[in-house]
């Protein structure tokens, strides 16, 4: 492409409100523009990279036998009512009403929609397993959209769903996806770790997150270079104490369901202390509390009431414990919960005791510790969650009555897995890892153009002629070339070239008449004079 005809609005100045390198450089390089908080346009250069990421994802998803489809972004509210998530999802779910008064959600995720689509078709074990995926815009009204594409309110996600008739079949799909994700992120050039994670509000149990290493990342991961062990730090505490299978049953892992937290939170001011941390517990109860006594729920040995312990019994169906933020690190992986910016909402399992004593032996992983498998020393790093794979089980199929007939003719709920990749977030994560102060340094696999051909002075006939000739030649050789044919000052051209970050620069300047050009790798910056005849071998 000729740069004189392209829409690449680079910025000389650092944008004031961009707090991360990726946000700043994507704006400055003319890759994206903000339209509203957390809502962006992908300009031609940025969209080229998005499409390259999508191509890698499509190739690897197709390779697992998954079929691409496209579902609407606008989803009927009825489906979200079927699973109860219309009420549970909270303010992150964007909702709207049509002219007939019917409500819709702008898809934050697609479990309901896909389950509704396949439930009639997948009526027999003979049609299982099945795997589908889409690349579609998602909407989440994030409380704090930030860091540009890293936490948007409208963003591009690849979401895949698999359907099975056995845990073994799900397990196979899960690990196939896991390995496909590894290949995707490797092909994107990312330094990342696949870590054990928590299943959060989505339900289900087995789950890994893919975390791109970057200081700006919002998660902290514990990993070791010489062991396979890697976990989201919050998960790491639990694994350490579990002692049994990784991620296996913890006291409160299975719970009855999720409920929306609404109305005022009544504070009953239960304080209790564990050996590892002081935890503040508030109890919210909208209705009269009865059923279970407080002391049945909390092991009183470890409770040091700092104020009156509320003598009221707890109704485990309705009441919600809210642990203060500092407790989150230690206890948040033990119960089904809703995480918000300010607190974690735990839902009690009526069938189980919430005994704080269970955590009496908690040891939390620290930097320098031996990894749980004994194979290495633990390090901490910050990570950006670029993808996640989940074993959902039957949570959605049960709620939505999506059943198949097994070989004995018995109706059973479909067993499901779901698998997400933040496409636009991946772009930002790559930026965080591939830049210097002057701009982007794209990995070859994602670069918007492989070669930036820069004509220092296009008004000079020799320079222009040689550039035109090289441009055609490089295109014919199959290179993706951006030709800076603009009548701009050389300083502007070189600054823009650094911002745009193509891996190779071919500079046509003063020695054009002698058929001599300069070559530079964006990463090294050093320019090397080369004759035209030697250029081809130098580039490849």
Q: Which two tokens stand for residue 538?
A: 């130098």
User: What does the DSSP assignment read for 384-415?
Assistant: EEEEEEEEEETHHHHHTT-EEE-TTS-EEEPE
Closest approach, Cβ 132 to Mg ion, in A, equals: 19
What's the closest the beta carbon of residue 199 comes to Mg ion, in angstroms?
A: 9
- Using CB under 6 A, list all residues that contact ligand ATP: 109, 140, 142, 151-152, 155, 157, 385-388, 420, 422, 424-425
Q: Min. distance of Cβ 188 from ligand ATP in angstroms?
A: 12
Query: 12-41: which residues touch Mg ion (CB under 5 A)?
Result: none
Name the minimum Å distance from CB 108 to Mg ion: 9
Kindly state the helix (H) or strand (E) to which residue 383 belongs, with its residue range.
Answer: strand 379-393
CA distances from 384 to 183, 381, 453 (A): 17, 10, 34
Shortest Cβ 195–Mg ion spacing (Å): 11
Name the residue nearer to ligand ATP (CB basis): 52 or 493: 52
- The answer to whether 517 and 506 are in contact (CB under 8 A) is yes
Which CB, 135 or 238, lies closer to ligand ATP?
135
Please, which of residues 405-434 interact with Mg ion by CB under 5 A?
none
Cβ atoms 238, 244 nearer than 8 A: no
Closer by beta carbon to ligand ATP, 89 or else 404 = 89
Looking at beta carbons only, is 395 or 425 nearer to ligand ATP?
425
- Which of ligand ATP, Mg ion, none sits in contact with 277, Cβ below 5 to 8 A by type? none
Name the closest residue to Mg ion (Cβ).
388
CB 504 within 8 A of CB 525: no
Tell me whether residue 212 or residue 517 sits nearer to ligand ATP (CB atom): 212
Residue 207 lies near Mg ion (rule: CB under 5 A): no
For residues 405 and 343, what is the distance between their CA atoms, to the nearest angstrom?
42
**Closest among 353, 289, 282, 352 to 318, alpha carbons compared:** 289
Which option in ligand ATP, Mg ion, none does residue 164 bind, with CB closer than 5 to 8 A by kind? none
Exposure pattern of 324-340 as b/e (b: 16+ CB <10 Å)?
beebbbbbbbbbbbbee
Residues 386-405: x where in contact with Mg ion by CB under 5 A, - otherwise, as a string: --x-----------------
Q: Tell me how far, at minimum, the Cβ of 140 lies from Mg ion, in Å.
A: 7
Q: Both tokens of residue 519?
A: 């070559």
Nearer to Mg ion, 385 or 518 (CB): 385
CB of 58 to Mg ion, least distance (A): 21
387 binds, among ligand ATP, Mg ion, none (CB under 5 to 8 A by kind): ligand ATP
Shortest Cβ 86–ligand ATP spacing (Å): 17
70 or 407: CB nearest ligand ATP: 70
Closest CA to 70 of 163, 136, 137: 136
- Residue 316: contacted member of ligand ATP, Mg ion, none (CB under 5 to 8 Å, by partner type): none
330 binds, among ligand ATP, Mg ion, none (CB under 5 to 8 A by kind): none
**Whole-number minimum distance, CB 197 to ligand ATP, in Å?**
8
Q: Which two tokens stand for residue 293?
A: 């006594």
Nearer to ligand ATP, 92 or 277 (CB): 92
Whether cis (ω within 30° of 0) applies to the bond prior to 274 is: no
**How far apart are alpha carbons 516 and 508 in whole angstroms?**
8
Residue 524: Cβ-neighbour burial (10 angstroms; 0-12, 13-18, 19+): exposed
Per-position DSSP letters for 422-461, written without gaps between them: EHHHHHHHHHHHSEETTEE---TTT-S-SEEEEES-TTSH
Question: Minimum Å distance from CB 176 to Mg ion?
Answer: 19
3-state secondary structure of 174: helix
Sign of CA dihedral 146, 148, 150, 156: positive
Q: What are phi and psi of 144, to 5 degrees?
A: -125, 80
Complex with ligand ATP: residue 155 or 272, whichever CB lies closer: 155
Reference 481, options 503, 450, 504; nearest CA is: 450
Q: Name residues whose C-beta falls within 8 Å of residue 463's C-beta, 6 or more positions apart in sequence.
A: 455, 456, 457, 508, 509, 512
Separation CA 30–CA 19 (nearest Å)? 17
x/- track of binding to Mg ion for residues 315-354 (CB under 5 A): ----------------------------------------
Angstrom distance (rounded) from CA 11 to CA 33: 11
Q: Which does 425 bind (CB under 5 to 8 A by kind): ligand ATP, Mg ion, none?
A: ligand ATP
24 contact, one of Mg ion, ligand ATP, none, CB 5-8 Å limit per kind: none
Contact indicator for 45, 448 with CB cutoff of 8 Å: yes
CB atoms under 10 Å from CB of 220, counted, come to 15
Give the residue with the Cβ less far from ligand ATP, 155 or 494: 155
* Residue 142 binds which of ligand ATP, Mg ion, none (CB < 5-8 A, kind-dependent): ligand ATP
Closer residue to ligand ATP (CB): 371 or 428? 428
CB of residue 456 to ligand ATP, shortest distance in Å: 40
Residue 439 binds which one of ligand ATP, Mg ion, none, with CB within 5 to 8 A depending on kind?
none
Part of the chain binding Mg ion (CB under 5 A), chosen from 157-165, 255-263, 382-390, 506-514: 382-390
Nearest-approach distance from CB 91 to Mg ion, in angstroms:
12
208 token code pair: 């890994």
Question: Which C-beta is closer to ligand ATP: that of 203 or that of 372?
Answer: 203
The residue sitting closest to ligand ATP, measured at its beta carbon, is 422
Binding site for Mg ion (CB under 5 A): 385, 388
């Amino acid at each position: 492409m000729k740069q004189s005809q392209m829409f690449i609005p680079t910025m000389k100045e650092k944008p004031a409100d961009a707090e991360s390198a990726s946000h700043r450089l994507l704006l400055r390089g003319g890759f994206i523009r903000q339209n509203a908080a957390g809502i962006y346009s992908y300009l031609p250069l940025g969209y080229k990279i998005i499409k390259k990421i999508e191509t890698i994802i499509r190739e690897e998803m197709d390779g697992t036998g998954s079929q691409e489809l496209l579902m609407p972004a606008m989803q009927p509210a009825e489906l979200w009512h079927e699973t109860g998530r219309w009420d549970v999802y909270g303010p992150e779910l964007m909702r709207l009403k049509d002219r007939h008064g019917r409500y819709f959600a702008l898809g934050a995720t697609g479990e309901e929609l896909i389950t509704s689509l396949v439930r009639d078709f997948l009526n027999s074990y003979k049609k299982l397993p099945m795997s589908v995926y889409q690349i579609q815009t998602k909407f989440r009204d994030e409380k704090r959209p930030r860091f540009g594409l890293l936490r948007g309110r409208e963003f591009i996600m690849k979401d895949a769903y698999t359907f099975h008739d056995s845990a073994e079949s799900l397990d196979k799909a899960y690990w196939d996806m896991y390995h496909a994700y590894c290949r995707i992120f490797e092909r994107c050039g990312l330094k990342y770790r696949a870590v054990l994670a928590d299943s959060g509000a989505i339900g289900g149990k087995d789950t890994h997150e893919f975390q791109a290493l970057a200081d700006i990342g919002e998660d902290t991961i514990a990993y070791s270079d010489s062991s396979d062990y890697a976990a989201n730090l919050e998960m790491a505490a639990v694994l350490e104490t579990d002692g049994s299978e990784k991620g296996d049953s913890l006291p409160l892992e299975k719970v009855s369901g999720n409920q929306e937290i609404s109305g005022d939170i009544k504070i009953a001011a239960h304080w209790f202390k564990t050996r590892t941390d002081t935890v503040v517990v508030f109890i919210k109860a909208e209705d009269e509390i009865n059923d279970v006594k407080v002391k049945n729920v909390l092991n009183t040995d470890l409770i040091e009431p700092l104020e009156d312990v509320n003598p009221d019994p707890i109704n485990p169906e309705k009441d919600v414990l809210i642990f203060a933020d500092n407790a989150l690190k230690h206890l948040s992986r033990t119960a089904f919960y809703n995480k918000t910016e300010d607190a974690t909402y735990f839902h009690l399992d009526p069938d189980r005791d919430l005994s704080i004593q269970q955590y009496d032996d908690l040891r939390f992983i620290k930097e320098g510790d031996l990894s749980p498998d004994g194979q290495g020393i633990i390090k901490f790093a910050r990570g950006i969650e670029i993808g996640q794979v989940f074993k959902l089980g039957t949570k959605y199929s049960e709620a939505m009555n999506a059943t198949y007939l097994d070989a004995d003719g018995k109706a059973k709920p479909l067993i499901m897995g779901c698998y997400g990749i933040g496409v636009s977030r991946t772009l930002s994560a790559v930026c965080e890892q591939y830049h210097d102060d002057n701009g982007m340094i794209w990995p070859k696999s994602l670069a918007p153009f492989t070669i930036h051909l820069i004509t220092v002075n296009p008004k000079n006939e020799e320079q222009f002629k040689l550039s035109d000739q090289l441009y055609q030649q490089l295109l014919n050789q199959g290179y993706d070339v951006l030709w800076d044919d603009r009548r701009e000052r050389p300083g502007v051209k070189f600054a823009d070239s650094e911002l745009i970050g193509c891996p190779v620069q071919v500079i046509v300047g003063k020695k054009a008449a002698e058929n001599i050009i300069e070559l530079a790798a964006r990463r090294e910056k050093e320019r090397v004079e080369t004759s035209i005849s030697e250029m081809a071998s130098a580039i490849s």
